[in-house]
Amino acid sequence: MNTAANTRQRILETAVRIVDTKGARHLTLDAVAAEAGLSKGGVLYHYPSKRALLEGMLRFVLDSFENSLQRHKASGGVTESPLVAHMALTEEEEQPRTESMALAIIAAAAEDPSLLEAAREKIAELLKDITNDNGDGQLAQILFFALEGLRFFGMLRLLPDQFDREGMFSRLVQLAQNLPAPGSSDSSARLAAAH
Q: Are residues 78 and 173 in the same domain?
A: yes
- The CATH number of whichever domain residue 3 belongs to comes to 1.10.10.60
pLDDT at 143 over 90: yes
Q: Are residues 105 and 188 in the same domain?
A: yes
Three-state secondary-structure class, residue 172: helix
> Can you tell me the distance from the alpha carbon of 25 to that of 54, in angstroms, rounded to the nearest whole number?
12
Mean pLDDT of all residues belonging to the chain: 84
pLDDT at 31 over 80: yes
DSSP character at residue 116: G
User: CA 119, 124, 129, 132: dihedral to nearest 10 degrees?
Assistant: 160
Query: Is residue 82 within 8 Å of 72, Cβ to Cβ?
Result: no
Q: Grade residue 189 by pLDDT with cuts at 50, 70 and 90.
A: very low
Q: Are residues 120 and 187 in the same domain?
A: yes
Q: Are residues 59 and 44 in the same domain?
A: no
pLDDT recorded at residue 182: 85
Q: Are residues 110 and 134 in the same domain?
A: yes
Domains held by the chain: number: 2
Q: Grade residue 18 by pLDDT with cuts at 50, 70 and 90.
A: confident
pLDDT in tens, 88-130: 888 787 777 667 667 777 777 777 888 888 888 988 998 999 9
Q: Are residues 125 and 79 in the same domain?
A: yes
Q: Are residues 109 and 23 in the same domain?
A: no
pLDDT recorded at residue 186: 54
Q: Domain span at residue 25?
A: 1-48
> Can you tell me the distance from the alpha carbon of 149 to that of 155, in angstroms, rounded to the nearest whole number?
10
Q: Are residues 18 and 77 in the same domain?
A: no
Q: Are residues 66 and 44 in the same domain?
A: no
pLDDT at 20 over 60: yes
> Can you tell me the distance from the alpha carbon of 193 to that of 42, in angstroms, rounded to the nearest whole number?
57
Query: Is residue 155 within 8 Å of 102, Cβ to Cβ?
Result: yes
